[in-house]
Amino acid sequence: MNGKPGFRVREHWPRPGDALLAAFGEASPAQIADCMSRLGAMDGGIRPVWPSPRIIGPAVTVWCHSGDNLMLHKALSLARPGDIVVMNTQGNTGNSGFGELLATSAVKLGVRGVILDGTVRDADALEALRLPVYARGLCPNGCNKDGAGEVGAIIACGGVAVRPGDIIVADRDGVTVVPLDDAAEVAALAGAQVEREHQRLAEIERGVLVRPEIDQYLRKMNIIE
């Protein structure tokens, strides 16, 4: 890895295999975050630009200097089909680091989704391309391409640490990050969470509209008799 801290490219990192990704089934970001003690979900400011479908895949991380997207271009060149690009913009919401041109390249590269802690532009084109994109909003201003940054580093996005190769799960509710080291355990927990929710829905259909343990807890706390 050449360069210096703050201006370098890491080209290789572990990625989850297809079997590990499949082990999450159709578990949602909400269900998966619940399995991690409600940690791992990005804050509510990171929202889908259009009502895109659920996606899951490994993270390609990129950390760009404010108002610059040079390293995002490099990150896309290292992405593999099925990857999800996750970008830190140093909190910049006055310049959009991603739009139609980069999105068109991303689609042809097989990128599954793009998540920016910042703004994007060309919203209509992003939807027409059917590329799931998550951001803090829209802004027509573009970026320079001459700044420092890092590819393949640990970054922050939506208040959560993201390492290259971590599993990203996103839908209309938002985005959850699963550390790769914990992924097998979290996948098993998520499967159990999905089953519990199916059972609860069946109870509701049978007429058990309020969970009985709610009153049990309140009696234990001497709130009700």
One-letter amino acid at 222 equals N
- Sequence spans of domains, the chain: 3-196
CB neighbours of residue 155 within 10 Å: 22
CB neighbours of residue 144 within 10 Å: 14
CB neighbours of residue 127 within 10 Å: 16
* Tens-level pLDDT at each residue, the chain (225 residues): 789 999 999 999 999 999 999 999 999 999 999 999 999 999 999 999 999 999 999 999 999 999 999 999 999 999 999 999 999 999 999 999 999 999 999 999 999 999 999 999 999 999 999 999 999 999 999 999 999 999 999 999 999 999 999 999 999 999 999 999 999 999 999 999 999 999 999 999 999 999 889 999 999 999 998
Q: E-assigned strands of 90-165?
A: 113-117, 119-120, 133-135, 137-138, 149-151, 155-157, 160-162
The helix/strand/coil state of 94 is coil
Q: Which residues touch 28 (CB under 8 Å, ≥6 apart)?
A: 54, 169, 171, 173
Residue 190's DSSP bridge partners are none
Angle at 68 between CA 65 and CA 73, to 5 degrees: 105
The predicted model scores a pTM of: 0.94
The structure tokens 């420092």 sit at 148
Q: What is the pLDDT of residue 166?
A: 98
Q: What is the pLDDT of residue 2?
A: 82
Count CA atoms within 13 Å of residue 92 on its CB side: 23
For the structural domain made of 3-196, what CATH number should be given? 3.50.30.40
Dist CA 222 CA 19 (whole Å)? 48
* Alpha carbon separation from 111 to 105, 159, 178 (Å, rounded): 9, 23, 19
